[in-house]
Amino acid sequence: MTAHPFSAADSASTSGRAVTPSFWSRLWTRDAPGYLFLLPWFIGFFGLTLGPMLTSLYLSFTDFDLLTSPNWVGMDNYTRIFTADPKFAASMRVTFFFVIFSVPLKLAFALAVALLLNRGMRGLPLYRAVFYLPSLLGASVAIAVLWRQLFAGDGVVNDFLAIFGIEGPSWISNPRYSLWTLIVLSVWQFGSPMIIFLAGLRQIPQDMYEAASLDGASKARMFWKITLPLLTPVVFFNAVIQTIDAFKSFTPAFIISGGTGNPINSTLFYTLYLYQEAFGFFRMGYASALAWVLLAIVAAFTGFSFLTSKYWVHYDE
Amino acid sequence: MTSSAPRLTVVTGADDSAARWRKRALSTASHAALIIASILMLYPLLWMLSASFRPENEIFSSSTLWPSSWSLDAYVRGWNGLRVSFGTFFLNSFIIAILAIIGNLATCSLAAFAFARLEFRGRSFWFALMLGTLMLPYQVTLIPQYVLFQGLGWINTILPLVVPKFLAADAFFIFLMVQFFRGIPKELDEAAQMDGCSPWRIYWKVLLPLSTPVLATAGVFTFIWTWDDFFGPLIYLSDIRTYTVMLGLRTFVDSTAQSDWGGLFAMSSLSLLPIFLFFLFFQRLLIDGIATTGMKR
């Protein structure tokens, strides 16, 4: 491992034998090391990302079923998705509902707790650890299993409500509430955006607040005029990351609904529907088309966020 | 500031004690809110842990956290609850996680070194593409990858879960390491280069030894995410002897859960234990790691 491929080139360039190095030796000394260091990444990028992406784009125009070779069907898959697939429509509704409610709620909790903790509370490390723990564990199947029990008809939540004389429904198996149990699970994991908010709050210069309070500004005014504007880059980062994560969420819905997305498709996340089509029915061509629709949605969302960010995100450079 | 402060307190003495009282009340209220929130946050976890130690007939009858008698029966039942014991699942999960850590640390740091420290044509282009893959939903590459790995005969082996890690497939860690490497003074590399060090030696002898914090962070996160991963094993592992802990839990839910909640909670708690231990010992690293991702650009 100590004999490295660059030693020859390096000594050639420093020995001064070649006063004007040729194109090839420049290529070797200047560009080759970078590309060699990137070699594993290049193999992964072309072999596992770009190649498969293009293949799945091709497959999305076919009827590929994993067993027989794919036949070209033109736009059929996409036409069916947008005009004749009630399950696609249902999974879109579920996914957007989940994103629209879970992300803002999660960020609001994260910011509120971060603001509270940032007031120089004693015991900050302990609180921070307690609030962070769920976001570390939350992706696990074990937590989804636990959630299924907590919100069952005879679960802990209803035991708790019974103390106040409320008879709760079976949250998991009632289509009106089932998706909300997943939203609660997501909000429960507000710890990691909270940590990022805390770090962001630390970077706001204290003298700005001192100056503002000398001018007689109220706490609320300082929040709206100093804290929030200076925190917008962090809000933006958190919002983008959490939204993309929410679109990709799979495990909780899969475990809680037993892989079905029921009751009556109320937890049929888009990713779950795609999984069913691909690995339940082996409609690989159709599932590829679904994947590209998802990519288009995520790309449109990301592009939109970055384009609009210059109107509300405050960058000081 | 310091000279004017005492004068102010004298003048506004009465207001000040009221303000101090208000401040203390506010602080108490904040603590109360945070403590209640903490209890609510932790209650589900504690409940599961306590349920796993209860005698079977007591799991749902009592809502107190402290079991009337402690029993390890559920752990024994759960461990052997499926055709193959959870010991196998734990071993499989550990093997996958450890290989994933090795792969990620080795190849992501190579790529990050190139992006952060080496000058070559096309660098910003490839860097932008690498960042782009961060946003890419895995579903877009899923099916062709599956076809590829199936063609290679890798189904029911750990290879589809491990080999991508040796090809720097986790762009997040490349990004994290680039951020860290950029914080190491460039003069160090330049001095080493003057002394005739090749890029490889600079990477191996200068940068890596200074990067233990970010390597540890990446290692711990790799462990946790690989351990928790459900989708990958679900797709690629169908033989129960190759199952990971997460797949074992899922099978447990589907097969026996209705009759053996105790066993299920015992195995669920046990499956969270490695993550909890990492959290306990590397909390600082994890929190700093999370915090830096959002801060620097």
Q: Which of B79, B76, B83, B102 has the alpha carbon at shortest distance from B242?
A: B83
Contact B133 A141 (CB under 8 A): no
Residues B177, B192, single domain; the answer is yes
Residues B167, B34, single domain; the answer is no
Q: B235 pLDDT band (50/70/90 cuts)?
A: very high
Q: Does the pLDDT at position A246 exceed 50?
A: yes
Residues B137, B237, single domain; the answer is yes
Query: Could you say which DSSP state residue A138 is in?
Result: T
Mean confidence (pLDDT) of chain B: 84
Task: Tell me what pLDDT residue B263 has.
Answer: 85
Distance of residue A135 Cα from the nearest chain B Cα, in angstroms: 11
Q: B5 pLDDT band (50/70/90 cuts)?
A: very low
Q: A18 pLDDT band (50/70/90 cuts)?
A: very low
Task: Tell me what pLDDT residue A97 has.
Answer: 92
Q: Return the bridge partners of A62, or none.
A: A72
Q: Which of B189, B183, B224, B185 has the alpha carbon at shortest distance from B203?
A: B189
Residue with token string 């000279």? B3
- Judge contact between B176 and A83, C-beta under 8 A: no
Q: Does the pLDDT at position A268 exceed 50?
A: yes
Task: Enumerate the residues of chain B whose CB falls inside 8 A of the CB of residue A238.
Answer: 294
Q: Cis ω on the peptide bond leading into residue B6 (within 30° of 0)?
A: no
Is the minimum CB–CB distance between A303 and chain B shorter than 8 Å?
Answer: no
The proportion of chain A whose per-residue pLDDT surpasses 70, expressed as a percent, equals 92
- End of a domain among B15, B45, B71? B71
Q: Does the pLDDT at position B4 exceed 50?
A: no
Task: Tell me what pLDDT residue B296 has.
Answer: 46
Q: Chain B interface, mutation test: which of A30, A46, A49, most B Cβ atoms within 10 Å? A: A49
Quote the number of domains for chain B: 2
Nearest-CB residue to A136 (from B167, B275, B292) = B275
Task: Enumerate the residues of chain A whose CB falls inside 8 A of the CB of residue B107.
Answer: 40-41, 44
Task: Tell me what pLDDT residue B30 has.
Answer: 83
Q: Give B253 or A289, the one with higher predicted confidence.
A: A289
**Mean pLDDT (whole number) for A248-277:** 84
pTM, two decimal places: 0.85
Q: Does the pLDDT at position B90 exceed 90?
A: yes
Task: Tell me what pLDDT residue B270 has.
Answer: 92
Contact B250 A31 (CB under 8 A): no
Residues B52, B91, single domain; the answer is no
pLDDT digits (tens, 9 = 90+) for A201-233: 888 888 888 888 888 888 888 888 888 888 888
Q: Does the pLDDT at position A4 exceed 50?
A: no
CATH number of the domain enclosing B232: 1.10.3720.10
Residues B57, B173, single domain; the answer is no
Residues B25, B160, single domain; the answer is no
Q: Please give the single-letter amino acid code of residue A41.
A: W
* Domain architecture of chain A: domains with CATH: 21-59 (no CATH), 80-312 (1.10.3720.10)
- Judge contact between A264 and A277, C-beta under 8 A: no
Residues B100, B126, single domain; the answer is yes
Least CA distance to B274: which residue of chain A?
A: A137
Residues B157, B215, single domain; the answer is yes
Q: Give A267 or B168, the one with higher predicted confidence.
A: B168
Distance of residue B290 Cα from the nearest chain A Cα, in angstroms: 7
The CA distance from A43 to B107, in Å, is 11
Query: Could you say which DSSP state residue B70 is in?
Result: -
Contact B63 A159 (CB under 8 A): yes
SS3 A62: strand
Q: Does the pLDDT at position A7 exceed 80?
A: no
Q: Does the pLDDT at position B180 exceed 80?
A: yes
- Judge contact between A138 and A229, C-beta under 8 A: no
Radius of gyration of chain A (CA): 26
Burial code (b: 16+ CB inside 10 Å, e: under 16) for A59-68 equals bbbbbbeeee
Distance of residue B55 Cα from the nearest chain A Cα, in angstroms: 17
At A2, list the tokens: 């100590």
Distance of residue A9 Cα from the nearest chain B Cα, in angstroms: 9
Give the CA distances from residue A79 to residues A84, A289, A293, B117, B175, in Å, rounded to whole numbers and listed in that order.
7, 10, 12, 48, 38
ipTM of this predicted structure: 0.83
Least CA distance to B255: which residue of chain A?
A: A258
Count CB-CB contacts under 10 A for residue B125: 9
Residue B23 belongs to what domain range?
A: 4-71
Task: Tell me what pLDDT residue B197 has.
Answer: 83
- End of a domain among B17, B46, B71? B71
Task: Tell me what pLDDT residue A316 has.
Answer: 62
Nearest-CB residue to A119 (from B30, B257, B295) = B30
Q: B294 pLDDT band (50/70/90 cuts)?
A: low
Is the minimum CB–CB distance between A264 and chain B shorter than 8 Å?
Answer: no
- End of a domain among B19, B42, B71? B71
Mean confidence (pLDDT) of chain A: 83
Least CA distance to B293: which residue of chain A?
A: A196
Residues B205, B120, single domain; the answer is yes
Is the minimum CB–CB distance between A148 and chain B shorter than 8 Å?
Answer: yes
Residues B116, B259, single domain; the answer is yes
pLDDT digits (tens, 9 = 90+) for A68-101: 888 898 888 899 889 888 889 889 999 999 999 9
pLDDT digits (tens, 9 = 90+) for B239-277: 989 999 999 998 888 775 566 788 888 999 999 999 999
Task: Tell me what pLDDT residue B80 has.
Answer: 84
Give me the residues of A, 204-223, that contact B with CB < 8 A. Answer: none
Task: Tell me what pLDDT residue B1 has.
Answer: 38
Give me the residues of A, 36-95, that contact B with CB < 8 A. Answer: 37-41, 43-45, 47-49, 51-53, 55-56, 59, 64, 66
Q: Does the pLDDT at position B159 exceed 90?
A: yes
- Judge contact between A123 and B28, C-beta under 8 A: no
Question: How many Cα atoms sit within 13 Å of A315 on the Cβ side?
Answer: 10
Nearest-CB residue to A56 (from B140, B225, B291) = B140
Nearest-CB residue to B253 (from A160, A255, A287) = A255
Task: Tell me what pLDDT residue B60 has.
Answer: 66
Least CA distance to A47: which residue of chain B?
A: B145
Residues B49, B154, single domain; the answer is no
Residues B18, B126, single domain; the answer is no
Task: Tell me what pLDDT residue B160 has.
Answer: 94
